[in-house]
Amino acid sequence: MSPERETESLAGVRFVRLPNANAVGEQAALMVANQLANKPNSTLVFPTGKTPLPLYQALRHMPELDWHSSRLFQLDEYVKPKMAGPLPYETFAEFMDRELWDYIAGHKFYIQHYFQQPADYEQLVLQGGGPDLVILGIGGNGHVAFNEPGSSPDSPTRVIELAEQTMVSNFGGAIKPGYPTQAMTLGLKAILSAREILLLATGESKKAVVKAAFSPENPPSSDCPASWLKRHPNVTIMTDFDV
């Protein structure tokens, strides 16, 4: 007789399936709008990548939102390699400015000022009892922010070596001259201290990793850092595919 398999409770996880990536962006923007309406001085944490682009587009077209007293944080940022001249890649600060922050008010915190003091950045994020809303994407290897495989749920905000798979997917190669090999990331501990987490995943290429991370059959594991979100009491997973 085979022992009964234990399954993970997903009590705190809500799956929202929408027809396409734009609908995901629009729905996510409504969550941000609600958050700001309920608490104008919210602490919000924003991701980069292709996935949140429709969200930022939607937010840029919501001039009625009042961002003035909000506190806005980056989720992660590449550590600049030591080299002279212009960088061959876009920093996440430049990305955030271009996609959203240049269009809105609010107090904006840039990770690049805290590479030497990751704990100070984490303290700022945690001020007021933890972030109100952390928005995440997911990497093909299960990373959230740059909490690469091996990251435990109590991992601090820190500088981390990028996984080879991440460098390949983000820069098309393992180590290329002028490109970063390290990043600073908000740690899983700070992410999991959020009142609410919104994970966005769109496109067929994200299906397998989302299914693996959130299957009730798989216990959370540092091999797939996103799987630790299953233990959070208030997570929304917004996708354009069935999980």
Please, are residues 73 and 43 in contact by the beta-carbon 8 Å criterion?
yes
Query: Taking the CA atoms of the chain, what radius of gyration do you get in angstroms?
Result: 17
| Contact window for ligand GLP (CB under 6 A) among 111-119, 136-144, 171-179, 231-239 | 136-144
Does 98 bind ligand GLP (CB under 6 A)? Our answer is no
Distance CA 173, CA 236 (A): 32
Nearer to ligand GLP, 25 or 47 (CB): 47
186: Cβ–Cβ under 8 A, 6 or more apart, which residues? 45, 73, 75, 76, 121, 122, 125, 134, 145, 157
Per-residue tokens: 46: 């924003």
Round to the nearest angstrom and report the end-to-end CA distance of the chain: 30
| Contact window for ligand GLP (CB under 6 A) among 17-25, 103-111, 135-143, 233-241 | 135-143
Give the residue, chosen from 14, 17, 41, 50, that forms a contact with ligand GLP under the rule CB under 6 A. 50
Does 166 bind ligand GLP (CB under 6 A)? Our answer is yes
Give the residue, chosen from 75, 198, 226, 229, that forms a contact with ligand GLP under the rule CB under 6 A. 75
Minimum distance from CB of 170 to ligand GLP (Å)?
Answer: 5
The residues facing 196 across adjacent strands are 133
Minimum distance from CB of 68 to ligand GLP (Å)?
Answer: 26
| Contact window for ligand GLP (CB under 6 A) among 28-36, 48-56, 152-160, 220-228 | 48-56
Does 134 bind ligand GLP (CB under 6 A)? Our answer is no
Classify the phi-psi angles of 79: left when phi > 0, otherwise alpha if psi is within -120 to 50, otherwise beta: beta
- Positions touching ligand GLP (CB under 6 A) are 47-51, 75-76, 137-139, 145-146, 166, 170
